[in-house]
Amino acid sequence: LQRAGEKLITTHCSYCGMQCGMHIRVSEKTGKIKGVEPRYDWPVTLGKLCPKGVTAYQQIDHPDRIKRPLIKKNGAFVESSWEEALHVIKDNVTRLQQESGPDAMSVFGGVSMTNEKCYLVGKYARAVLGTRFIDYNGRFCMSSAAGGFLKTFGMDRGSTLPWTELEHSDCFLMAGSNTAECHPTSIQMFWKARDRGASMIVIDPRETPTARIADVHLDLLPGTDSALANGLLHLIIKEGYVDEAYVEERCANFEELKAQTALFTPAYTSKITGVSEEKIIRAAHLYGRAQKSVVMFARGAEQQSKGVDNVTLYSALALLRGQIGKFASGVATFTGQGNGQGGREHGQKSDLLPGYRKITDPEAVKHISGVWGIEPEAMPKPGVSAFEMFDEIQNGAIRGMHVICSNPAVSAPNVEYVWDSLKKLDFLVVNDFFLSETAEFADVVLPAVSWAEDEGTTTNLEGRVIRIRKAVEPLHESKPDWQILKEIAQVLGKGYLFPYEKAEDIFNEFRLATKGGKADYYGITYERIDRENGVFWPCPSLDHPGTPTVFKGRFETPDGKAVLPSVPWQEPGEVPSEEFPLRLTTGRVVYHYLSGNQTRRIDFLRDQCPYPYVEMHPALASRYGIQDKEMAEITTPRSSMTVEVKLTKATREDILFIPYHWGKELSVNKLTNACLDPTSRMPEFKVCAAKIRRI
């Protein structure tokens, strides 16, 4: 593939958790990026990139890149020097913390960053700013999967198996994942398995491109996953599909689960979920008969106020069939962001320190403060979850915020409340490489680099730690986030805590921080990642091979057994009423990534899908006298928005669907509900009550 006058930089795509292998083509003469090529030697994605990956390089010297630090003066941004920006930050952070204590500052992190940066954001918040208020956008992404895995298995790794084994599986049960659009390059693995006769069951309110290739599509009412999962569990038990020896040896709570699911006959399950009895029965038999099966889920099942329950129940299907810890079998979640694991084992979550250590555990605090070089007493207490940080702004506890690689002004639920909160801040700093909707609220914007301008590692959706390599020098005066945080630490008099010269120095400290924790990266080095084409965590020593398949022997619970759930069916946080008779759900399209801050600027991607729309069934539209391509107003108890109508029979007749990649008046998150899961604190993006009218 290498052409004359070019060098190929071996790396991975910047976007979703697939982290597809790619080469970046760089001109030897100009040092500019000319394009990308898929990596045929990368075992997970084997020469495939989706439209986002193919065009990702166009971000790098995009004219919208922030060139220099920006300081807001008289309501408008003006370019400044780094020196001036750092001093504005120092003055404001010092003033707020002197007036209101260290917790007056907060940090809102992100997961579309390298492991090194994810780790450093947590250390920056707790050791440099000394605040307990740190959380991150993974709370809106992976937190329910994490909560479910922890409850069930005692450890949270996004996938219990390496994805190179998927092609050998016999059955896939996918809940709330539009894989074909959200993780498109994974589809080839499913096709390979399908060619061998594997079956596929898709659980989704819409007949997505993924559901179209399924053997059974369980088109459930949004918010009824726990009823459907209970119904499938009921049939797995009733039809004799339980691997009794495995459950006896490796699982706890089976009798409670059996009692709980007894009620969920196909008729009862069908009544709640709206899925026909025939489809439920067919799905249970397909899944129950498979020798090697994988249960997979994503935000459709997780972004609910019962998201953790949903994850535990779907995971229980795999446990009853004895599928965890075996070849080509298991449970996996599709991580949305590039470093989907990032934040949890790295210490950006309000209650976790690196290595998946609890901040409430004195031994954990002792270990991490030792690695960081601070006194254990200086470690802040647990904070609050991402959305709850906006409540803390409203009640005056948080007065300043540093947003790093995140765009909550688009991605948070009930987003008008978030806008109001951001306006109330005394001081807001944002690191980004494009002026995001969140950055527009800022007092200071610091130009960060794109993924191709820095070194580091990420952990893909399998749990495999991989290398991200620098292809070009940082554009204009932009800097890597780790360097920005180091310079802020220096002006705040804490530079001694950030003695790094390069990303690898941070990774080596991160290894020490995770040593002995549940998410142990100690045995993983840059040299090993390069040599072995990635290493799976946990990997506790340099001679440990890494762990592609987890839970082969025991689970990470105190007694080594997986905990089967006994979870009743409960309605979502908001149900239809006379005034709001429909259910609204949200999701992604193949051409855009998360808040769209990057992909909305790429001409090809924007042209394919320039605006949000509301998808609805023609039968529902006719009840409201609405035609295809007309404009309609959708209202929920929080707000309204106006979008074009797209009629399709590929959706239930009682729901509305709007994709979420746009900001301001085009943000569907003006409408979504911030009702939180009690364990994961995940907001209920995926279901709220709504009404529609033609305008």
Closest to ligand SF4 by CB, 37 vs 654, is 37
Among the listed ranges 28-36, 44-52, 219-227, 405-413, the one in contact with ligand SF4 (CB under 6 A) is 44-52
Number of residues that bind ligand SF4 (CB under 6 A): 13
Choices 45-53, 137-145, 493-501, 578-586 (CB under 6 A): range interacting with ligand SF4? 45-53
Candidates 178, 185, 547, 566; binder of ligand SF4 (CB under 6 A) is: 185
Match 């949200």 to its residue by tokens.
586
**Toward ligand SF4, which CB reaches closer, 179 or 199?**
179
Q: List Cβ neighbours of 170 (8 Å cut-off, separation of 6 or more).
A: 193, 196, 197, 198, 199, 290, 291, 292, 293, 328
Strands of 204-326 (E only): list them.
216-218, 251-252, 293-297
184 binds ligand SF4 (CB under 6 A): yes
Quickly list DSSP for 70-95: EEEETTEEEE--HHHHHHHHHHHHHH
The residue range among 160-168, 178-186, 639-647, 673-681 that interacts with ligand SF4, by the rule CB under 6 A, is: 178-186
Single out the residue of 26, 46, 49, 328 in contact with ligand SF4 (rule: CB under 6 A): 49
Among the listed residues 2, 20, 4, the one whose alpha carbon sits nearest the alpha carbon of residue 12: 20
Contact 435, 66 (CB under 8 A): yes
Instruction: Please state the three-class secondary structure of 218-244 as a single string.
Output: ECCCCCCHHHHHHHHHHHHHHCCCCCH
Interacting span for ligand SF4 (CB under 6 A) from 11-19, 492-500, 654-662, 676-684: 11-19
Is residue 290 part of the contact set for ligand SF4 (CB under 6 A)?
no
Member of 50, 316, 401, 668 binding ligand SF4 (CB under 6 A) = 50
CB of 75 to ligand SF4, least distance (A): 36
60 sits near ligand SF4 (criterion: CB under 6 A): no
DSSP state of 206: B
Q: Is 679 in the site for ligand SF4 (CB under 6 A)?
A: no
Please identify which residue in the block is written with the tokens 């750092």: 86
The dihedral over CA atoms of 638, 644, 649, 653, expressed in degrees to the nearest 10, equals 30
Out of 19, 457, 635, 669, the only residue in the binding site for ligand SF4 (CB under 6 A) is: 19
Residue nearer to ligand SF4 on the CB measure, 50 or 318: 50
Q: Which of 20, 104, 446, 452 binds ligand SF4 (CB under 6 A)?
A: 20
Among 65, 117, 183, 592, binds ligand SF4 (CB under 6 A): 183
Structure-token pair, residue 28 = 């030897």
Cα angle value 112/160/163 (rounded, 5°): 70
| From candidates 53, 109, 205, 540, binder to ligand SF4 by CB under 6 A | 53
Which of 24/368 has CB closer to ligand SF4? 24
**Minimum distance from CB of 645 to ligand SF4 (Å)?**
28
Which candidate, 659, 550, 433, 476, places its Cα nearest to that of 155? Answer: 550
Residue 52 binding ligand SF4, by CB under 6 A: yes
CA distance 257 to 234: 9
User: Distance between CA atoms of 422 and 403, rounded to whole angstroms?
Assistant: 11
Secondary structure in 3-state letters for 377-443: HHCCCCCCCHHHHHHHHHCCCCCEEEEECCCHHHHCCCHHHHHHHHHHCCEEEEEECCCCCCHHHCC
**Nearest residue (CB) to ligand SF4, 15 versus 356:** 15
Which among 179-187, 448-456, 657-665, 667-675 is the span making contact with ligand SF4, rule CB under 6 A? 179-187
Q: Which region, judged by CB under 6 A, interacts with ligand SF4, from 48-56, 75-83, 475-483, 549-557? A: 48-56
**Would you count residue 13 as binding ligand SF4 (CB under 6 A)?**
yes
The closest residue (CB) to ligand SF4 is: 53
Q: Tell me: does residue 16 bind ligand SF4 (CB under 6 A).
A: yes
Indicate the residue among 94 and 188 with the shorter CB distance to ligand SF4: 188
Strand pairing class (631-635; 535-536): unpaired
Query: What is the residue whose two structure tokens read 């080509």?
Result: 328
Q: How far is the CB of 573 from ligand SF4 (least distance, A)?
A: 30
Binding site for ligand SF4 (CB under 6 A): 13, 15-16, 18-20, 49-50, 52-53, 183-185
